[in-house]
Amino acid sequence: MAYNDQNIFAKILRGEIPCDKVYENDYALAFRDIAPQTPVHVLVIPKGPYVSYVEFSEQASDVELAGFMRAVGAVAAELGIAEAGSRILSNQGEDGHQEVPHFHLHMLAGKNLGRMIKPIDK
């Protein structure tokens, strides 16, 4: 999918709209989700133009990949969630209900999150 630089996270990266920043390095930005689904709900996004984890994994440089993953650890440290635990997920594409077409990880924490997914009807 072609990257659309008018998506809301691209606007946040350009400083055109504000965010509640938690952490930033050269390759990633982390900020609080505007509609948190858990007591702690932070989004981590790469600074490069990647629609999904698939594109990011395939197309990002090693430096970008490393910088992004270092940011994830730094966010966990910043939020103090490592000991109690957390969950990271990334929605991708139609079946994944991805709403914003700029790759992001959801970092969810702050309570017992229960099992990851409910049993599904096959």
> Contact residues for ligand AMP (CB under 6 A)?
8, 19, 31, 33-35, 43, 91, 97-100
Q: Could you tell me where the DSSP H helices lie in 14-115?
A: 53-59, 62-79
Please say which residue, 34 or 66, places its beta carbon nearer to ligand AMP.
Answer: 34
Query: CA–CA separation, 37 vs 88, rounded Å?
Result: 13
Q: How far is the CB of 41 from ligand AMP (least distance, A)?
A: 7
Q: How far is the CB of 99 from ligand AMP (least distance, A)?
A: 4
Please say which residue, 69 or 90, places its beta carbon nearer to ligand AMP.
Answer: 90
Concerning whether 104 is annotated as a catalytic residue, the answer is yes
Please say which residue, 8 or 69, places its beta carbon nearer to ligand AMP.
Answer: 8
Please name the residue that has the structure tokens 């691209």: 10
Query: CA–CA separation, 102 vs 111, rounded Å?
Result: 27
3-state secondary structure of 119: coil
Q: How far is the CB of 32 from ligand AMP (least distance, A)?
A: 7
Contacts of 112 (CB under 8 A, 6+ apart): none
Active site residues: 104
